[in-house]
Amino acid sequence: MRKLNSLIELLFVVAMCMGNISLANEKQQTKLPISLSVKENNCSFGAFVQESAPAGLNVRQTPSLSGKIIGKLPPVIENPDLAGFKIKIEVDVLGSKNGWFFISNAKDNTTLTGKSARSVFSGRGWVSGRKLTVKSQANKGYLQPLTTSPIAVSSNDNAGFDNDEMVRAGQLISCLGNWVLVDYSINKLSADMVKSLNLQAVAKTGIDKEHLQVWVNQICAIQETSCDGTAMQK
């Protein structure tokens, strides 16, 4: 009888241990990294990284400064053959949330650098829109991501927002599909470039003339040359 009781006690202990192991495994599983996903706007276009700090741009697991850093993107570098032209890391944008952008497929442009590709985090993650810019073939910026919405600003330049000055002056705020909401800092533009912009429309809408926030489409992911109107992405 004593042996039977001992056997029952042993089985009970084993059962308890197995239960604790299962519970421990469950707790461990909840601590695993959550898969990266776009939880707000879905987007699809190519952008460029405008980070100047030598340490590069942090790629985070979540769209927040408190998000875990999972990678780095190198800063801009000078083009040895063209003074003033900054060579930027290229990324695909998949979505946005609260000023942060979900990116993938980051790559260095070795055609422009003439060197071996720098070490780049090419996975998926979130980066601040303040460090991203785009090239647009559009010559109109809208108040909403629709061509039927009021025009906030128009460009007299046939190249639209597809020039180096406009690219340098822009930083991203949000996106929706193939549309991008860009903040253009007017104080970063030359007087001639400002003259090419129709700012009367901006004044009527009450938008700050120093920071044009407009929706643009016809995004082009080619940084080394002007797009021809057919290479829009995507």
Domain ranges for the chain, please list them. 1-32, 40-228
Q: What does the pLDDT read at residue 228? A: 59
CA angle (96, 101, 102) in 5-degree steps: 90
Q: What does the pLDDT read at residue 23? A: 32
Q: What does the pLDDT read at residue 11? A: 40
DSSP 3-state of 219: strand
Nearest to 157 by CA among 187, 205, 132, 189: 189
- Rounded to whole angstroms, how far apart are CA atoms 233 and 171? 18
The reported pTM is 0.77
Q: What does the pLDDT read at residue 24? A: 32
Residues of the chain with pLDDT under 50: 1-38, 229-234
